[in-house]
Structure 1
């Protein structure tokens, strides 16, 4: 057996990293990514919200990069940040105006409390993806009698694993995000969280805890499937080369950009549905459901044309590319670190066993 760790297959069942090690790797990536891309996500959401706010002056959607927060307007004309900043004319203009009028730190406002939800969601997503991918891969290889060859991975495996992992992760945190939004909009304390839950369940049933999940999945499931398909394909195409941290950065950026471009209309719809749901949460005694996805698409298209469905494309691409790059590169680096650690331990154990066999 070779003692060179660079020659070891990451997916070798003996050396695969444990779920808790995957959790550590994904958690580190989530922290670094969140700090970097938060300002870009703020700009993307505000550009999309600006379009919606011009049509409905009841509430606006503010995002610090990890979670969306719905807030009521101070008057009937426009959201506070629109009155303070004026109309945004692009990504750079938005970054400049927000920094000048609200302070640079406002681009990271609310980061700490929202990490409480964002990091668990990221951990669940990445760990689920890895476990599902390896399960599907092992099952496939065992059925085709490939023996000890663990490198065969059809294109549908990362797509299926990515989409399934996203459904599970999004569904798990959806009720928490809904309550988080309600607390922000109505200034509820943590003591009142139980009453907030009762209110939603009373008027919408238990399914009301997952309001808005459909539009979220409509965007995130295709994104995840397309992203992991492209990323794993790039890795396989360059399988013979050393996949360094820089390589993973580039592969993640390319895969993320393609997925973001294809799914940007769903991102716009998600923003509009969250705002409509927030208007009912803020201005109605009875929480209600927002319009269906098809109706929103038709309304956006009739009012703003095809460009309306691609509002915020530039900041989304500028944000998603580095976000995917940093997250996957950090995650892969963490996987490599733990895989090398596991392999070192196992190889040492095997060498010790062989030593005692030869001696006795």
Structure 2
């Protein structure tokens, strides 16, 4: 009897000390909930930011632009007086905004509250599954690498797990990202989109569906490596200070914000490169011609550095951090909170 009780205690101790031993569906539910919370909370902030930027330089009808709501990039079209039925419209005839709070109030009052969540639909369709895939893969890889929190010489494990999980997620999602971007960058019916994909595959092979994969990997894989390299030790140090085996939401929130900020600063040049490639793609308008003007990632980096120096490679750092820092904090905090609930249930 004592032996059975001791075994149960050991089982509970193991589960508590290693929450990564949770089943994959536990991690999928936790990451999906975190992605949903992040998308809902971050989208209005970026919509307001873009609207404030747009009034400084009004966009022409039908012009495409990119914005990110914390989980993924979006391509949207400016309506501004174009005829109803324009594909993927974003807004028209904006009011004059006198600041962030004023923009929130006027958009909600003049256009409806739900306009603050423009771009949420494609996030829920694609970014949430991608986030689930990424976070679940990360935790599973970390678990199978037998990562021990607080032990010296273990930091390479979250780095490998983070980089591997992001590489896997980027590779799986890349064709869907390409299709989504093309459909939002110019008017295309689903039949036309299928024809466009078929033509690209016929003329350039199946690998044409992964165009844009390289700059996405250049940005996202290093970001993931740096994020978890900073997050795991900081989380472990704070948990140890308070005698905890699993992080609370405030601990995960703070650690995620700090790690996300560091990763955002160090990978900013790759984000600039990805933006250049995306804009290039949106301007071309045809998958077959894009290959003729596209440059390799390193070639674009050398060109930017030669023309504008480090300032060119770090353009837009502050606005990006305004998105990345709270997005990482909310996503990781919500994810850890969800996992802690399942850990308690397992015990």
Q: TM-score, normalised by structure 1?
A: 0.75
Checking the alignment, whether the CA contact within 8 Å between 2:47 and 2:118 is kept in structure 1 is no
Question: Structure 1 residue 27: deviation in Å?
Answer: 0.2
Aligned match of 2:117 in 108, 112, 123? 108
Question: Structure 1 residue 48: deviation in Å?
Answer: 10
Checking the alignment, whether the CA contact within 8 Å between 1:98 and 1:107 is kept in structure 2 is no
What is residue 323 of structure 1 aligned with on the other side? 327
Aligned match of 1:32 in 33, 37, 53? 37
Checking the alignment, whether the CA contact within 8 Å between 2:231 and 2:259 is kept in structure 1 is yes
Question: Structure 1 residue 307: deviation in Å?
Answer: 2.4
Q: Distance in 2 between matches of 1:82 and 1:12?
A: 48
What's the RMSD between the two structures over aligned residues?
A: 4.1
What is residue 234 of structure 1 aligned with on the other side? 234
Change (3 A) 1:59 1:291: farther
Q: Distance in 2 between matches of 1:300 and 1:96?
A: 35
What is residue 337 of structure 2 aligned with on the other side? 333
What is residue 123 of structure 1 aligned with on the other side? 132
Structure 1: gaps (5+ residues): 75-79, 142-148, 344-360
Matched, 1:10 2:16: yes
Change (3 A) 1:5 1:94: farther
Which SS does the other structure have where 1:188 is aligned? coil
Matched, 1:136 2:145: yes
Q: Distance in 2 between matches of 1:270 and 1:220?
A: 10
Matched, 1:198 2:198: yes
Which stretch has the larger CA shift, 248-257 or 185-194? Answer: 185-194
Q: Distance in 1 between matches of 2:305 and 2:92?
A: 26
Matched, 1:68 2:74: yes
Question: Structure 1 residue 299: deviation in Å?
Answer: 3.6
Change (3 A) 1:231 1:62: same
Checking the alignment, whether the CA contact within 8 Å between 1:248 and 1:332 is kept in structure 2 is yes
Q: Distance in 2 between matches of 1:9 and 1:16?
A: 6
What is residue 275 of structure 1 aligned with on the other side? 279
Q: Distance in 2 between matches of 1:271 and 1:48?
A: 17
Which SS does the other structure have where 1:137 is aligned? coil
Matched, 1:20 2:29: no
What is residue 245 of structure 1 aligned with on the other side? 249
Checking the alignment, whether the CA contact within 8 Å between 2:175 and 2:209 is kept in structure 1 is yes
Question: Structure 1 residue 227: deviation in Å?
Answer: 0.3
Checking the alignment, whether the CA contact within 8 Å between 1:48 and 1:311 is kept in structure 2 is no
Which SS does the other structure have where 1:297 is aligned? helix
Which SS does the other structure have where 1:311 is aligned? coil
Which SS does the other structure have where 1:157 is aligned? helix
Question: Structure 1 residue 196: deviation in Å?
Answer: 2.4
Q: Distance in 2 between matches of 1:94 and 1:260?
A: 29
Q: Distance in 1 between matches of 2:17 and 2:290?
A: 48
Change (3 A) 1:275 1:82: farther
Structure 2: gaps (5+ residues): 1-5, 81-88
Checking the alignment, whether the CA contact within 8 Å between 1:48 and 1:268 is kept in structure 2 is no
Change (3 A) 1:150 1:325: closer
Q: Distance in 1 between matches of 2:102 and 2:213?
A: 29
Spell out, residue by residue over 1:154-197, the C-alpha distance to the aligned partner (whole angstroms, 9 max, x if none): 01000010001000001101101111111122322334442121
Spell out, residue by residue over 1:309-360, the C-alpha distance to the aligned partner (whole angstroms, 9 max, x if none): 22221221111111111111111111111111111xxxxxxxxxxxxxxxxx
Question: Structure 1 residue 246: deviation in Å?
Answer: 0.8
Which SS does the other structure have where 1:10 is aligned? helix
Say how many residue pairs are matched.
Answer: 325
Question: Structure 1 residue 303: deviation in Å?
Answer: 4.6
